[in-house]
Amino acid sequence: MKINFYLTQNRNMRDGVTHYAHEIIKRIPTGGDLRLQGDAFITIKDKKETVSSYFKSVLPSVELNIKKTPFRMRTLDKFTDFRMPFSYEKIFGTKPDVVVFFHNFLPRIRINAKKVVVIHDLTPLYQDGLSKKKKKIYYKRYLHSVKNADLIFTDSEYSKADICNRFPVANGKIIVNYCGIDNKKFSTAIDEAKRAESLLKYNIDSKYILFMGQARENKNLFNLIKAYSLLPDKLKKKFKLVLANSNKKLIDFALKIGIDRDVVFLNGIEESDVVSIYQSASLLALVSFSEGFGLPLVEAMAAGIPVIASNVSCLPEVAGGAALLVNPYEPADIAAGMAKALTDAELRNKMIEKGKVNASKFSWEITSKKFYSELIRLHNNANRKN
């Protein structure tokens, strides 16, 4: 059996989908007649040797099939939008039994193998910042994917219900497979010297409330900043707000409401510092409007810090009763939740203990094993029909 993974967009480990893809692929057992191949386009500016070296370092069991193109990455990212008179097999010169796409969409080309897509969520369909025209484009991409996929994975029961409600054709071929974490990595205490070193690197000089994730519209960062501004002055003096990723609009907003000096705006956290930043935080705030899973929520729980999370989307499901839930549309409610989690010692201790128990339910070993077993089932069923 030969399984091919489309990896063009999977070189940024700070991206949640890339993290998901790598953690699953590297745990799939190899040997016998099973072959794993990674297919990827690269731009004319990329060095093939550099890209190959990267993938070999993170996915050593995967054979690489890298195709150099004259296009920019912006174009390659839209591969699933293109209609071409070629098959996937023709483009990559391969004959897989199963092809897996991790970034929500199947390409609009012929694929002779069994087609698997991971639809993490339908977030673009709900974003206020997207025009009706762009939402219509996304809708067509999702529809094409659910109609043509032989198997669909998603990250939560909430996302499954959402996908099936919007696209009933997904019923019967969609599987919920929760994301995982490396529990030992996040729960093993980092010594004070290492934590201090990490804090110094990111200019964090006080206790803090942490947001971990990308600065995307669905993350609700404007309301988080607004909520932080509503905290009592004594709490703002004691706790800063640290955003792991930010942008100019967020910085300008904080400046406008007069709390820019109380917020630490970062442009990503290196993987080697992630656990230190989690364990040094006083609280994680994940108040997204929508999520496919919400991985930082579980990582923070494993790291032993309390979490406040939205009471919408999949977050209550993933939190498992271990987070303090708030209304993401009401900054005052978010602020009240933060204040309570920061000042109520008994509540904090209960949240931390419940969080550790909840986090222990999620592991990449479980996620990868289920992913692989479903691919095998799909392949075997196809062979029986043939």
pLDDT > 80? residue 15: no
The candidate with the shortest Cα–Cα distance to 198, out of 270, 261, 267, is: 270
Residue found by looking up tokens 């550790």 in the block = 356
- 258-274: average pLDDT: 95
| Distance from C-alpha of 235 to C-alpha of 241, rounded to nearest angstrom | 11
Tell me how crowded residue 241 is: count the other CB atoms within 10 A of its CB. 25
Q: What's the whole-model pTM score?
A: 0.92
Q: 266 in helix, strand or coil?
A: coil
Are 195 and 156 found together in one domain?
no
Residue pLDDT, tens place only, 16-69: 889 999 999 999 988 788 999 999 999 988 999 999 999 999 999 999 999 999
Are 314 and 204 found together in one domain?
yes
Higher pLDDT, 11 or 289: 289
Are 194 and 122 found together in one domain?
no
Alpha helices in 167-269 (DSSP H): 183-187, 192-201, 221-229, 233-238, 248-256
Are 221 and 335 found together in one domain?
yes
pLDDT > 90? residue 84: no
Parent domain of 322: 183-359
Q: Encoding tokens for residue 302?
A: 């494993």
Q: Which residues of 342-363 are buried (b: 16+ CB within 10 A; e: fewer)?
A: beeeeebeebbebbbebbeebb
Are 114 and 195 found together in one domain?
no
Are 146 and 227 found together in one domain?
no
Residue pLDDT, tens place only, 198-252: 999 999 999 999 999 999 999 999 999 999 999 999 999 999 999 999 999 999 9
Report pLDDT for 128.
Answer: 86
Are 55 and 200 found together in one domain?
no
Q: What is the CATH number of the domain that holds 47?
A: 3.40.50.2000
Q: What percent of the chain has pLDDT over 70?
A: 99
Whether the CA torsion 316, 241, 207, 277 is positive or negative: it is positive
pLDDT > 70? residue 185: yes
* Chain mean pLDDT for the chain: 94
Go through the chain and tell me how many residues it has.
386
Are 103 and 150 found together in one domain?
yes
Residue found by looking up tokens 């694929």 in the block = 111
Are 277 and 175 found together in one domain?
no
Are 163 and 297 found together in one domain?
no
- 351-373: average pLDDT: 97
Extended beta strands in 269-385, E state: 283-286, 307-310, 324-326
Find out whether 334 and 313 touch, Cβ atoms under 8 Å. no
Phi/psi of residue 212, nearest 5 degrees? -115, 125
Residues 6+ apart with CB under 8 A from 340: 324, 347
Q: How many domains is the chain built from?
A: 2
Residue found by looking up tokens 């996040």 in the block = 186
Are 133 and 188 found together in one domain?
no
Report pLDDT for 13.
Answer: 63
- 281-296: average pLDDT: 96
Are 349 and 212 found together in one domain?
yes
pLDDT > 80? residue 191: yes
Helix (H) or strand (E) holding 154: strand 151-154
- 100-113: average pLDDT: 95
pLDDT > 90? residue 14: no
